[in-house]
Amino acid sequence: MARDSHHTNAVAVAPAALLPYSLLPGTLFVALAYLLAVEPLPWAFAGSWVPALQVDFAVHIDGLAAQFLLLITGVGTLVFVYGAGYLAGEAKARRVFVLLLLFMAAMIGAVISDNLIVLFVFWELTSVLSFLLVGYHHEQESARKSAQQALLITGVGGLSLLAGIILLGEIAGTYSIQQLISRVPQFIGDTRLNAALTLIFLGAFTKSAQLPFHFWLPNAMAAPTPVSAYLHSATMVKLGIYLLARLDAAFSDLLFWEYTLVGVGTLTAVVAAIQTLREGDLKRILAWSTVATLGTLTMLVGLPGNGAALAVATLLFAHALYKAPLFFVAGNLDHGAGTRAIDQLTGMRRYMPWTAAAALVAALSMAGLPLSFGFIAKDAITLAKAEAEVLHLVSYATLFVTSISVAVAAIAAIHVFWGRDTVPREAHPHEVPLTMLLPPLLLVALGLLFGIAPTLVDPMLGAAAHAIAPDFDAATVDVSYDLLPVLEATFGAVVFGVAVYLGWDRLHALLDRVSHLDRVGPESWYWRKLKFLPRLAAWQTRLLQHGLLHRYLFTVIGVVTIAAVALIYAAQPDYHWPAVDTLSPPVLGAALLISIAALTTLFVRDHLVLVLVSGLVGYGSAVLFLFTGAPDLAFTQFAVETVFVVVAAAVLLKLRRMEPLRRVTTEARFRPLALVVAVVFGATMTALVLLVAGLPFDSGLAEFFGAQSLPAAHGRNVVNVIIVDFRALDTLGEIAVLAFALLAALPLLKLAREARG
């Protein structure tokens, strides 16, 4: 397995030039830690942004948001330090660091936003930035496809999330998360609530790689290792978990909420745990174990009881403390040994002792062994399941997933580093520089410290659990641990995990024999649909872009007719029809002229005469404008219609003189369907116009422009003043469009002139 970053012949970037990028996240982390020590939570701020749409830039930082901010800035700082060594010599290294800084800002914006619409904006920014980061090696087809897959899946989920947010906001009457939670009793019985939650589930499941959208995350390992360690262990993929945990205070009592999250989370964890056994790349093995952890977190959010809230907060923190170092270890192996394939890595402790130490301590936490913070997380999970009285099937599934985690930890720490050095290699392995050793060692040291003295982080975990479950008493965290049940669970998981580790090769070979099942899995559906899209586009192009003008008109008129009829039917208007006898004779005369001209076009076959007769429709419209208070519009219509008729007639006369072209006539052929569409369209438009004419007229806008036209814009023609002054930017845009169209047409006109010789 080749290293996921490569050196180029362009100007290389030294590590010292990249280290300053870590100052921003480091400064934010220190400032946040200081503020948390001196200022009690929550912190709130609100500023108006788009009040007409109920969109405010509202900030709400409580225990859950603070925990995510600490992970985003703290782990982010170490990722930047690690990246300075890992990407040293890369010509595009600065691009990665800038994108990571923007990604960090988007994550911060998402977790502190109290307004769901603003949260969605930052949510989508993380998807776009992750697309750019995953596609870092855009010259490689695999990287492009992985980035495209991540963007398409999370992007479609984002659209679903937006629809769910809008529907939920309409139900609750607010887009503020805190106000929504307080108003739950008022709308909990709304029949639309399950539909809104389903849409939100789709958005969260795609972002956090839940079944059946789980496959995109391991494929995103095409990104450089610092990106994988940041996005896929501490930030982006946990954003969906954050949203679910944030809304859990509102909907935790709903059975639909509980059953959906517990069911999807459990299935995701089990499927991902099985997938880890099929991989031979250490980085992809860690990615699948991340998916399993995300499934476990989703299941925990769905569990009832305050213990589940503490378990979510603890596992979120523990996972970042052991998974980011393990990703760093994979990167170190890639950098120092030239491969991540586990069948080519044994006995690495002889060459990379410090990396081996980091892997061992991180693996202890991942396996949930005593004296590690992973053990504390396992304790919280065990108590949460006991409090919630979950089904035995869920408990067995959790035991299976935990056992696979033990086996993965053994692969990362024992198989790779403590086996016999018997594998032939092309390059001599060596230890990595300090910038790539310090981050994993520091993280595993923190995990070991918090495992020995969990009271150091109990306040943070308690505050986060209280934000998820408002009934949780943050002061009871230190008495929530129970040693005996977790020791029993740990013993069972370790025994089963060791058995899986010892039989890893056999299980790997066995699962390879059933690889044909991949053809019916979710990822195969994705690729089939991706291949189907061009065929669908080609079919639609042949159906709709056929080049026949009368079919275009038929399609447009038919669609407009259906839409207008649906609009009238949905409105069910109870208006008064305008009295025809109140219309002036000129208006009636203009209407009669338009009607006669329109009917005459049905019987004229010569194109020249047809143009002249259709011009009467335009002149009749001009007369109608003239006698209904729009003389300037009438004069414009007269001028445009005259120019059009003259130009069209001149062109047709020119065509008639050209030989051997036949005379331009239209074949007389009766089209029943076209007649029906025309009659229905005409009747519908007539009814729509009469209905609108019967509406009470609000003269407020007309009075405003009439009063402001002369003093504000120094013009007496109100229509011209609106176009030139009040809507000047709109008019400028229209002029710019015409100018650009002319500039685009100039080369074509030049080619046409040259072609005529």
* CB within 8 Å of 216: residues ≥ 6 apart: 146, 149, 150, 153, 154, 209
| Separation between Cα atoms, residue 411 and residue 498, nearest integer Å | 10
Q: Which two tokens stand for residue 320?
A: 């970042």
**Mean of the pLDDT values across residues 277-285?**
86
Residue 237 vs residues 131, 242, 321, 411: alpha-carbon distances, Å: 13, 9, 15, 24
- Choice between 712 and 515, residue whose per-residue pLDDT is larger: 712
| Separation between Cα atoms, residue 63 and residue 45, nearest integer Å | 16
- Give strand ranges (E) for 43-184: 43-50, 55-61
Q: How confident is the model at residue 594 (pLDDT cuts 50, 70, 90)?
A: confident
| Separation between Cα atoms, residue 389 and residue 395, nearest integer Å | 10
| Separation between Cα atoms, residue 554 and residue 228, nearest integer Å | 53
Q: Between 255-276 and 392-410, two packed helices, what is the crossing angle to 10 degrees?
A: 30
Whole-number pLDDT of residue 5: 45
Residue 492 vs residues 224, 299, 488: alpha-carbon distances, Å: 36, 21, 6
Residue of 405, 386, 608 lying closest to 500 (CA atoms): 405
Question: How long is the chain?
Answer: 757
Residue of 649, 638, 656 lying closest to 609 (CA atoms): 649
Whole-number pLDDT of residue 573: 57
Residue of 437, 416, 221 lying closest to 325 (CA atoms): 437
pLDDT score of 118 more than 50: yes
Q: How confident is the model at residue 244 (pLDDT cuts 50, 70, 90)?
A: very high
Comparing 221-230, 326-335, 398-407, 584-593, the range with the smallest average pLDDT is 584-593
Comparing 53-62, 424-433, 634-643, the range with the smallest average pLDDT is 424-433
pLDDT tens for each residue of 500-512: 888 888 887 888 7
Residue 533, burial from CB neighbour count under 10 angstroms (0-12, 13-18, 19+): exposed
- Give strand ranges (E) for 119-166: none
**Mean of the pLDDT values across residues 439-461?**
90
> What's 199-225 look like in SS3?
HHHHHHHHHCCCCCCCCHHHHHHHCCH
What is the SS3 assignment for 50? strand
pLDDT tens for each residue of 621-666: 888 888 877 777 788 888 888 888 888 888 777 777 765 545 444 4
pLDDT score of 377 more than 60: yes
Phi, psi for residue 10 in degrees, rounded to 5: -75, 180
The chain-wide mean pLDDT, for the chain, equals 83
Q: Cβ atoms within 10 A of the Cβ of 296, count?
A: 27
| Separation between Cα atoms, residue 265 and residue 293, nearest integer Å | 9
C-beta separation of 229 from 327 below 8 A = yes
Whole-number pLDDT of residue 496: 85
Q: What whole-number percentage of the chain has pLDDT above 90?
A: 23
C-beta separation of 415 from 356 below 8 A = no
Longest CA–CA span in the chain (Å) reads 104
| Separation between Cα atoms, residue 161 and residue 610, nearest integer Å | 53
Q: What whole-number percentage of the chain has pLDDT above 70?
A: 91
Residue of 262, 289, 300 lying closest to 380 (CA atoms): 300
| Separation between Cα atoms, residue 627 and residue 391, nearest integer Å | 79
Whole-number pLDDT of residue 442: 94
**Mean of the pLDDT values across residues 439-449?**
92
How is 296-308 classified by DSSP, letter by letter?
A: HHHHHHHS-SHHH
Residue with tokens 């954050």: 242
Residue with tokens 């993965």: 408
Whole-number pLDDT of residue 664: 45
Phi, psi for residue 224 in degrees, rounded to 5: -60, 155
pLDDT tens for each residue of 528-572: 888 888 898 888 888 888 777 778 888 888 888 888 888 777 765
What is the SS3 assignment for 53? helix
